[in-house]
Structures are given as C-alpha cells and as structure tokens.
Amino acid sequence: MTDAYINPEGKAVNVLGDPQKGIAEDPIDLKVFAARGEPLQFALISDDDRWRAFTQIVPFPLEKTSGPCHLSLLEKGPYYQFVSIEVSGFQPGETVRIDVKSEGQGGKSQAQADEQGFYTALISPVVRGMASGHARIMIAAKSCRIGAEFPWGAGSQIDQ
C-alpha cells in the first residue's frame, strides 16, 4: 500500500510534479515477486472511496502457442493446488480432447469449445500422499494440439 496521485497524463505517481516549485514527479516503481502463471491483483482507490480502478497482471505468464491456439495456465491456489486452463483459437463448438497427467495419474476427457472457440477448465494436479510433483496437460482438436507442463506442491515456485 502507498499513497498515489494521478498526474495529468493519467499515470500513477508518489508525488505530483510542480515545476514552479522545483518538485519533480516521482513515479511509482513496482517490484513484484510471483511464480510463473501467478496472477497479481492491484487496486487504486480514492481517499473518499468514490473512484476505483482494479487490474490483474501475470508478470511471468505460463503460456504456449501452437498454430491458431493459445494456452494460458493460471495458478489458482497456493503451490498450484488448482490451475485454471484457458485455450483460445478453436473452431466454435469444436470437440476438444483433454489429457491431464500428474505423477502417472490422471485421465482423458472430452469437451466442446464455446461459441467463441474458447475452452476453460479448473484442475487440481495434486496426487494424494505426495508433497510435490509435475503435471502435464495436452489439449487437442482438429484446429491444433497444444500442451504444457508445470511443477506443483512444495518447492514448485522456486527457480522457474
């Protein structure tokens, strides 16, 4: 948390510039620490609570592209206990085959892309009795084949 001001160009700053008084503007420099695919949320809220601006960023995305398809994985629980899968680029209503494996466990399923060619799902790669592991997701349709791997559990957010 910090006090912030919006300058005439719409930028968030710590101190508004006043050239007549020799005061230079002080931009807000953000330093973030995040795992790959971890979304961070930010808000600017006026003192009187009248104005609000919210955003979410993923500074280190976990993404892949193959042909027309784009895969994005978002961490939705600590240490990837849950992961959101978002894929775009399919044909509307196209049959999508999903294969999720985590430490030798998992399975295959089918779904339909929505009317905009998107497929979304929420998975948990956690395997009972294990503190950590690796998961692999493969998604295939006539339009494309795309996949990604990621660690989960203890130590999964180190050196990615």
Token pair for residue 3? Answer: 């006090």
At 39 the pLDDT is 94
Q: Where are the alpha helices (DSSP H) in the chain?
A: none
Structural domains of the chain ordered from first start = 5-57 (no CATH), 62-153 (2.60.40.1930)
For residue 20, name the pLDDT band (cuts at 50, 70, 90): confident
Please, is 86 exposed, middle or buried when counting C-beta atoms within 10 Å of its C-beta (0-12, 13-18, 19+)?
A: middle
What are the tens digits of pLDDT across the range 99-112? 999 999 999 999 99
Residue with tokens 């009248």: 50
Residue with tokens 């993404």: 63
Q: How many helices (H) and strands (E) does the chain have?
A: 0, 13
Q: Which of 7-11, 21-25, 41-45, 136-140 has the lowest mean pLDDT?
A: 21-25
Query: Given the DSSP bridges, would you call strands 26-27 and 12-15 parallel, antiparallel or unpaired?
Result: antiparallel
Token pair for residue 47? Answer: 């003192």
> Alpha carbon 90 to chain centroid distance?
20
At 21 the pLDDT is 72
Cβ atoms of residues 90 and 117 within 8 Å: yes
